[in-house]
Amino acid sequence: MAEQLRDVVVVLPGIMGSVLRDAHGDDVWKLSAGSILKDLLGRGKAIKRLQLPDGIGDDHPGDGVTAPALMPDMHVVPGIWTVTVGYERLLAWFRESFDVVEADPRDPDRVVNFVQFPYDWRLSNRYNARVLQQTVEPVLERFRSRPGNADARLVFISHSMGGLVTIFPDGHPGSADGQVVLVRIPERDVDLPAGREDWSVDGLLAYSKVCTHAGCPVGLFEAENATLLCPCHQSAFDVRTGATPVFGPAARALPQLPIEIDDDGFVVAQSDFHEPIGPTYWNRS
């Protein structure tokens, strides 16, 4: 029997995990399982309509793009990259397991306990956070007004946004060859080569952001597989084992920066890199 929900549950998809619909009503970002490359190639022009103007900051461009739904399926480039995980199974499990009441436009006064929050992931986190607040606070207020619900909370089921932060050496913001990606994974999954036992802290790992294949920035992190990805030629690096290459043309691991937490609680480097950064032909002069 379905369990009663005592709180309001909000499902918050990951980046690219919401369908985007343009001003003409066309679903520009909604991909078919297993065919993302075909879809992307076929939608090149349409996807250009999602481009944001320069300097958009925390605003909305007013281009009529909406986010009507969570991604329905799992979208995979086999062997390369899980772009996003669809949410159908999660939603189905919730509906089976709990006494879920969802919004219905035909019944605007309905007291709901389950909210899906698709959002326009092109826009800033601040913008989307404001929309989220405006969406869920009235829902919680209404839910709490029901007898026995006064202490109800919002419970967020969130899909990781990737967890990648780019950091620079102190005093060198924007340094091309000094940039480092900082990622966090469960500490139990850290499996670094011998001699690096104290190079990570609390599951935090720091690696050079300069791809060892041809020097592009390694700018994507897929948390499910703990993999850093280089978009230039799809090299993938397993952060658990020292950013060892697991796919693509890169043959060398991303150099790791040993880190620690200082007395003030800041993440700091213990030393410089212990090996050259970038591709083997990189100009290090």
Site for ligand FES in 189-228 (CB under 6 A): 211, 213-216
Cα separation of 82 and 31, whole Å?
12
Site for ligand FES in 65-94 (CB under 6 A): none
Site string for ligand FES, 16-55 (x = CB under 6 A): ----------------------------------------
Please state, in angstroms and as integers, the Cα–Cα distance from residue 56 to each residue in 59, 62, 166, 225, following that order: 6, 10, 21, 32
* Amino acid residing at 260: E
When asked if residue 250 is in the footprint of ligand FES (CB under 6 A), the reply is: yes
Cα separation of 261 and 206, whole Å?
13
| Sole binder of ligand FES in the list 34, 61, 203, 249 (CB under 6 A) | 249
Exposure of 102 in the CB half-sphere (CA atoms within 13 A): 10
User: Does an H or E element contain 82, and which?
Assistant: strand 81-84
Exposure of 282 in the CB half-sphere (CA atoms within 13 A): 17
Among 74, 96, 72, 259, CA closest to 180: 259
| Sole binder of ligand FES in the list 19, 65, 139, 230 (CB under 6 A) | 230
Q: Which is nearer to ligand FES, 61 or 276 (CB)?
A: 276
| Sole binder of ligand FES in the list 232, 246, 267, 269 (CB under 6 A) | 232
When asked if residue 165 is in the footprint of ligand FES (CB under 6 A), the reply is: no
Q: Which is nearer to ligand FES, 162 or 249 (CB)?
A: 249
Applying CB under 6 A, the residues found at the interface with ligand FES are 211, 213-216, 230, 232-233, 235, 248-250
